[in-house]
Amino acid sequence: MDRFVLEGGVPLTGEVRVSGAKNAVLPLLAVSLLFREPVHLTNVPRVRDTFTMIELLRLLGAEVQWDDAHTLTIRAEHLKSVRAPYDIVRKMRASIYVLGPLLVREGHAEVSLPGGCAFGPRPVNFHLEGLKRMGAQVDLEEGYILAHHQGLHGAEIAFDRTSVGATAHLMMVASTIPEETVIYNAAKEPEVQTLGRFLREAGAQIHGLGTDTLRIHGTPELSPPETFRVLSDRIEAGTFAVAAAITHGRVRILDVTPDLLPSVLPKLQAAGAQVTVGKNWIEVQGPADRPRPVDLETAPFPGFPTDMQAQFMALMTVADGSSIIREGIYPDRFKHAYELVRMGADIRVEGDTALVRGVPELKGAPVMASDLRASAALVLAGLVAKGKTEIHRIYHLDRGYEDFEKKLAALGAKIRRVSE
């Protein structure tokens, strides 16, 4: 099992280009099952979750081909199965995205209840209740979702709370129904908007992208766009921005739209970093001294993203003062806090809130990653810690960051991957 070994204390400098977004490509790969024509995607990130989704598509009968390092062609003209098995689905919650396209395409589907990062309950009931409202019959049996229909129809769907996954999933299905579907309390995240733009180019009428009400009038005659570029990864960009700040470095982050980080960049500025933006780049210069303490609360887009909470906590561990971090999306997403404490951080977790008292320095230690973003937070802490840090279970990080250690090393970080 691979691990990272880091020596802290080096300010990061230079330029880094972010990859395509994991959270954008996964629904695009799944929705390709709707089409008998080839789907061509560019800017595809080569991360573990991408490969897991490709494995699932191939198992279902799709042909998936890498045309170059970051371009995929998916041909799903002939499917051979409607069953997404536990052995694959347990690796990644986004596997549930294939349920809707299979249901539309074949009239029935069998998908294992999903797995993924181990923090907090993230039930799929919003997905299933939405499908039921559109006319599907859904049952749970021996750990599998069994769905079938004898005709889908438009519906009004109101989520009790915002769900990125359910919004994307139900938008796929609604785009094939020649009646209006309305989704209230819909997610506004850029990755959801990206899927919506793809479906609009494919022929669906979708109004309200970027708002909390989506109106979708679909068509069974969808046809994929000639090519479609995957959105660049705003969370990877945010991670490198925090890396520059925590190491007192200066990093220009390329191929990212600053508008995708409307709440992260102001928080970095409040912490003392200098932030400069261009049309498709962000430059962050870390504070000369210890960061200033900053409070934050995670919230749906355009609020502070839950996927940046762990990284920002790492920055606050060395702030000159105390900060309060409230997790408003997944209240249990604080496992990284206990590993940061092993490195000398002063953090107290109470329910959905963490009190972080900044310390003058962190010290290297052996730590263990518990999920994707926790992995990134531990790397950031290791970049500034005194001495050697070993981070175990980095397979979590490989799910969503492409060549992370290579990109950091190119900026001057003393980091290497060790295979056992």
Domain ranges in the chain are 3-19+233-418, 22-229
pLDDT for the residue numbered 254: 98
Q: What is the CATH number of domain 22-229?
A: 3.65.10.10
Q: What percent of the chain has pLDDT over 70?
A: 98
| Mean pLDDT along residues 115-130 | 68
- Closest listed residue to residue 308, CA positions, set 383, 400, 386, 384: 400
In Å, what is the CA distance from 308 to each residue of 138, 345, 377, 388, 397?
Answer: 35, 18, 9, 24, 14
pLDDT at 119 over 90: no
| Mean pLDDT along residues 246-265 | 97
pLDDT for the residue numbered 332: 86
Catalytic residues: 117
3-19+233-418 and 22-229: identical CATH topology: yes
Q: What percent of the chain has pLDDT over 90?
A: 95
pLDDT at 124 over 70: yes
pLDDT for the residue numbered 115: 56
pLDDT at 117 over 90: no
pLDDT for the residue numbered 114: 80
pLDDT at 122 over 70: no
pLDDT at 54 over 60: yes
- Domain 3-19+233-418 indexed as CATH 3.65.10.10: yes
Mean pLDDT lowest among 29-43, 107-121, 287-301: 107-121
pLDDT at 48 over 60: yes
Mean pLDDT, the chain, rounded, equals 96
Cα–Cα distance between 123 and 120 in angstroms, integer? Answer: 9
pLDDT for the residue numbered 93: 87
Beta bridge partners of 282: 253, 277
pLDDT for the residue numbered 171: 98
pLDDT digits (tens, 9 = 90+) for 289-346: 999 999 999 999 999 999 999 999 999 999 999 999 999 999 889 999 999 999 999 9
pLDDT for the residue numbered 71: 98
pLDDT at 149 over 80: yes
